[in-house]
Amino acid sequence: MQFIDVSYGYLAPILLLVLLFLKKQNAVYCRSLLAAMNVSLVFFVIFACREYYNLYLLAKSFGFNISFKGLMQFASTNIPYFVRNILILLLPFCFLFKKLSSNIFLSILMLIFIWWEVFYALLTHQEVRMLGSNYAPFLFPILNYFSLVVGMYALLWLAKRLPISRV
């Protein structure tokens, strides 16, 4: 599940560019694929929340004072990063609504949040670490993500929530 944001970060821009050049009757298929990719981001949120909970348990086991006031004080050290993380965790839930599942503006906004660290490194002339540079074996995460998107597409098709069913 940790590969979902990386694969979304590379495939969604390509899909959005393809949407610009397709005719309206063919663009609906790309929008349906975009809807499936957007809804699959909910699994990324579940994985990220599980990781944050494990960090909470680790900090608690080392005896750190974990309270709401302490978390707010910790978040105040880097407010843009904190806001970015909150928005990355909340924005995929907008994709669960039928009309917003293939929304291009929200997809671009999600891409900006995913690529935020790369953009920030480019603007501040720091070392740029590309998205997903810490994965050595790409084959299994790519196959897992492909299976997830196909399953999500099938689920949305069965629920008649794809843009194809609106035409």
3-state secondary structure 123-159: HCCCCCCCCCCCCCCCHHHHHHHHHHHHHHHHHHHHC
**Number of domains forming the structure of the chain:** 1
pLDDT tens string 121-131: 888 888 877 77
Q: 163 or 84: whose pLDDT is higher?
A: 84
Query: What is the spatial distance between Cα 16 and Cα 147, in angstroms, rounded to a whole number?
Result: 21
Range of the domain at 83: 4-166
> Does residue 167 have a pLDDT over 60?
no
Give the rounded percent of residues in the chain with a pLDDT score beyond 90: 40
- Under a CB-based contact definition with an 8 Å cutoff, are residues 9 and 131 in contact? yes
> Does residue 119 have a pLDDT over 60?
yes
